Amino acid sequence: MVGSDTNPQPGQIVLIKSGRDAGQYAIIIRLMDERFVMLADGGRKKFDCPKKKNIQHLQLLNYISPEVQTSLEETGRVTNGKLRFALAKYVNEFVYDMKKGVSFNGERRCN
């Protein structure tokens, strides 16, 4: 599912640009206010102990995990396994393709 670059949404995958976790991917699990979000990756940052991060320190990616988004909407929670699965799926499908030099348009992202 394609998301917006300007408004963060729960379930959206982000690339951390600064701080100790710079260069790593995470998923927005909660919006705090207009400046901060809570991130988790299911590994080092679990759902029950997420990382508070300034939106300016994140690169919002045009991908929202439908599994994570649905789980958050229905129950208000998501399992750490589902977070790891969503991140692995994104990295395997999109990041790997970009590193291979395969170009794709926005329609391919909507699976």
pLDDT for 89 beyond 80: yes
Q: What is the CATH number of the domain that holds 39?
A: 2.30.30.30
- Look up the domain containing 52 and give its range: 12-102
Rounded to 5 degrees, φ, ψ at 93 are -80, -45
The reported pLDDT for the residue numbered 22 is 95
The answer to whether residues 1 and 66 touch, using CB atoms and an 8 Å cutoff, is yes
In a domain, residue 45? The reply is yes
Q: Is residue 95 part of a domain?
A: yes
Angstrom distance (rounded) from CA 68 to CA 74? 10
- Report yes or no on 110 lying in a domain: no
DSSP state at residue 56? G
pLDDT tens-place string over residues 24-72: 999 999 999 999 999 999 999 999 999 999 999 999 999 999 999 999 9
Domain presence at residue 109 = no
What is the pLDDT, as a whole number, of residue 6?
73
Identify which of 28, 107, 104 has the alpha carbon closest to the alpha carbon of residue 69. 28
Q: Is residue 65 part of a domain?
A: yes
Residue type, 78: V
Average pLDDT for the chain: 86
Q: How many domains is the chain partitioned into structurally?
A: 1
